[in-house]
Amino acid sequence: MTGRILIVDDVEINLKLLEARLHAEYFEAVPARDGPEALRICAGGGVDLVILDVMMPGMDGYEVCRRLKSDPRSAHIPIILLTALDLPSDRVKGLEAGADDFLTKPFRDLQLFARVKSLLRLKFLTDELRIRAQTTAALIGTDDVLGDIGNGGRHGRVIVVDDSADGGARVARLLASEHECSALPDAPSVTDAAAADLIVIALSSPRHDPLRLCSQLRSNEQTRQVPILLIGEASDESRIAKALELGANDYLLKPIDRNELLARARTQIKRRRFDEGLRRSLQTTIELATSDALTGLQNRRFLDAHLPVAIDRARSESRPLSLLIADIDHFKRINDTHGHDAGDAVLREFAKRVRADLRASDLACRMGGEEFVMVMPDTEAADAARIAERLRETICEEGFAIGATRIRVTVSIGLAIFDAASDNPQTLLKRADRALYAAKQDGRNRVVRLAA
């Protein structure tokens, strides 16, 4: 794992030493000698992590941290604060300013690089989600889809895993002022763990292996994204480093300071909610990008992605596949006579009847205008012809409401049956389209099938 790391310190020798340590681990180090320079570099992009000294003249590290986290261009960049101050209140102040972690000088390489690698891993995951969400937003022409997601790290569901006599209960009591907590002596079930916003694991447990629990949580798809906060002793340093490599997100050393515990829990829960919000946003934008806004059916973009997959499956598994193209007859006349609002109402009702007539495994798409495509896997020619005829009758025999009146609407349908020896998505669509044209030429309101 590598990354571009910004080092911010007003002391030149500190910059050089830290830069050398990072280069030795194959990271790219970028130096900045004060807060304003750090803000300019981060605003320019390309920074994966910031290592920031607290004690600097003019603008101290806390203020730099606050400004970075308040700027949308840099809010996602993880920050490690470095200081010679060792009071819990100093750590809490840094965490509340938005820092992701806090190291006290002097620190060893093991402490530093375990933190750096853990934060970079999380940052790269979040970056991928952000990029996908923004790309999909650009695809559908909407504004920033990320919005104000993920704000707030309170009122979370926290599980504390500690089998000592009162350790887990004490941690749960400390967290209970801000969260819904439960203390367990053993590993939680997958269902409970997946529903949690944070899992706190004590490294001192003799009844189970905390490192194996970290590994199990990260290897299970349902719990992979749940943040893990470790609680250990100063003597647990090597185990903590290993746990961070396995995917734990943060750690806290005893004796536990209540404010620091709450601050670290808020940080992890806030990130969890941010990433969950990104995933929901991504799912929403994908649905918007692949759905037709008027009818709620899938659109041409989705069909273009889905049809090759359906054909590959039909060919590889020797399964039948049928495809219909339906076109509402004289649709322009409906618009011209009754207005475009009436035309839209007809399209919506037509889509509703199509959905009611098809199976859950079938795919209905609006190609554009008044043309619709239905992909029917595992459907033989005779069955496809019956479905097409039933749909034609459903459209023809039941009028469409236009205000207080009902009008007669008909549909022409072209049917094509997949031929594994010769068909691809283009030829299958083209044959169905030719069949549709033949239905129109033959007088409309009919189903036509053309042989391969």
Distance in angstroms (rounded) separating the CA atoms of residues 340 and 346: 10
Q: Which two three-digit tokens encode residue 15?
A: 């910059």
Q: Catalytic annotation on 237?
A: no
Pairing of the two strands 321-328 and 371-377: antiparallel
Burial zone of 96 (CB within 10 Å; 0-12 exposed, 13-18 middle, 19+ buried):
middle
Question: Nearest 5 degrees, angle CA 260-CA 29-CA 95?
Answer: 10
Report the C-alpha gap between 112 and 102 in whole angstroms: 10
CA separation, residue 380 to residues 38, 47, 240, 377 (Å): 66, 57, 60, 9
The answer to whether 162 and 170 have CB atoms below 8 angstroms apart is no
Question: Helix 109-140 and helix 258-290: axis angle, to 10°?
Answer: 30
How far does CA 40 lie from the centroid of its chain? 29
Distance, in Å, from the CA atom of 136 to the CA atom of 310, rounded to the nearest integer, reads 24
What sections of 176-247 are H helices per DSSP? 190-195, 210-219, 237-246
Burial (CB count <10 Å: 0-12, 13-18, 19+), residue 400: buried
Residue 326 phi, psi dihedral angles, 5° rounding:
-115, 140
What phi and psi, each to the nearest 5 degrees, are found at residue 363? -115, 125
Residue carrying the six token digits 């647990």: 236
3-state secondary structure of 244: helix
Q: How far apart are CA 182 and CA 203, in angstroms?
A: 17
Which tokens go with 151?
């704000």
Rounded Cα distance, 232 and 55, in Å: 28
CB 259 within 8 A of CB 177: no
Catalytic residue among 19, 260, 349, 370: 370
Closest CA to 243 of 208, 287, 286, 213: 213
Could you list the active site residues? 370
